[in-house]
């Protein structure tokens, strides 16, 4: 619950506070002060993240004949490294990467992460485990709120603001949602306020109830780990619908960049238009 307060602040400091307002991620002066105080107390973000990097990338052959898809380069940097940069920018340096297909290429490139200023450990998918199954490999290593994200997309999300949204609205899972012009290739979120009721898979452009789609980054509570079935599973199909039924699935809409690199055409678009992290 929020309370109204009156503060007396030096003019120069207030001017610096106002400089952080962009009316997108930082809405107004009150929001800016709240974000700055939360950051000062170190309670503005999860401390751990899991990156899914085990897929085969069959739609990107022949490039993925020799490299796992997250190691394909966008503007001379592996897509996976762009995602690590996002985490690092927000002070999240304890990273677990789930590797599978040609995972040794990822390990050789990143090692323990020290050259990037982060701490990287790995879990290995002996067989493909989907987007949910790898969570079974981290049980016992995660006992707090954490980030789960795909390693083969480009995204620029204010993770601190997303975490505050997650915590304020008391969900068990929060999905980052982005807006696309044509949602017919994705799952479209059906919302009730901040809560996600369901996803409609690949609706026609006319039938889509919104243009909000899953951006492949989630903030999850450790209780979610108990819901993961053994073996191969998809978090989108096996876990999120159960959370939505119990009104514990939230949608965080962000306006930063997002690029899907799943097909040669989308990959080329990302290569042309990605502007780096802001």
Q: pLDDT digit of tens for each residue in the chain (278 aa)? A: 668 888 888 888 888 888 888 876 677 888 888 777 766 665 677 899 999 999 888 898 898 999 999 999 999 999 999 999 999 999 999 999 999 999 999 999 999 999 999 999 999 999 999 999 999 999 989 999 999 999 999 999 999 989 989 998 998 999 999 998 888 888 889 999 999 998 887 777 767 778 899 999 999 999 999 999 999 999 999 999 999 999 999 999 998 999 999 899 999 999 999 999 87
Q: What is the pLDDT of residue 94?
A: 97
Could you tell me the residue range of the domain that residue 259 belongs to? 44-273
Per-residue pLDDT, 57: 84
Q: Which token pair is 58? A: 């069959």
CATH, residue 122: 3.90.550.10
pLDDT at 31: 82
Q: What is the maximum span of the chain, computed from C-alpha positions, in angstroms?
A: 62
Query: In this structure, is residue 164 part of a structural domain?
Result: yes
Sign of the C-alpha dihedral computed for residues 107, 111, 116 and 120 taken in this order: positive
Residue 68 lies in a domain: yes
| Residue 118 falls inside a structural domain | yes
pLDDT for the residue 233: 95
Residue 208 lies in a domain: yes
What pLDDT does 41 receive? 67
Tell me, yes or no, whether 35 lies in a domain.
no
Name the pTM for this structure. Answer: 0.86
The pair of structure tokens assigned to 3 is 């309370």
Work out how many domains the chain is built from and give that number. Answer: 1
Residue at 189 is within a domain? yes
Contact 132, 238 (CB under 8 A): yes
* 278 within domain boundaries: no
Cβ atoms 121, 230 nearer than 8 A: no
Q: Is 267 within a domain? A: yes
């Amino acid at each position: 619950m929020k309370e109204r307060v009156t503060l007396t602040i030096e003019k120069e400091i207030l001017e610096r506070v106002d400089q952080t307002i962009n009316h997108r991620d930082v809405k107004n002066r009150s929001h800016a002060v709240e974000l700055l105080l939360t950051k000062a107390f170190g309670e503005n973000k999860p401390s751990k993240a899991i990156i899914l990097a085990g897929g085969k990338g069959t739609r990107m052959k022949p490039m993925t004949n020799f490299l796992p898809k997250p190691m394909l380069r966008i503007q001379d940097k592996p897509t996976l490294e762009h995602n690590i940069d996002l985490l690092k920018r927000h002070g999240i340096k304890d990273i677990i990467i789930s590797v599978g297909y040609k995972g040794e290429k990822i390990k050789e490139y990143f090692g323990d992460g020290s050259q990037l200023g982060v701490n990287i450990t790995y879990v290995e998918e002996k067989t493909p485990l989907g987007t949910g199954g790898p969570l079974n490999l981290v049980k016992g290593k995660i006992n707090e709120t954490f980030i789960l994200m795909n390693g083969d997309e480009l995204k620029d999300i204010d993770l601190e603001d997303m975490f505050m949204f997650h915590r304020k609205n008391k969900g068990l899972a929060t999905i980052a949602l982005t807006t696309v012009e044509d949602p017919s290739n994705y799952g479209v979120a059906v919302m009730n306020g901040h809560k996600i009721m369901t996803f409609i898979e690949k609706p026609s452009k006319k039938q889509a109830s919104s243009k909000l789609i899953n951006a492949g980054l989630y903030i999850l509570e450790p209780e979610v780990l108990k819901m993961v079935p053994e073996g191969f599973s998809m978090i989108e199909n096996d876990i999120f619908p159960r959370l939505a039924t119990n009104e514990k699935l939230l949608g965080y809409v962000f306006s930063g960049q997002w690029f899907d690199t799943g097909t040669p055409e989308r990959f080329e678009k990302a290569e042309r238009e990605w502007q780096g992290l802001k």
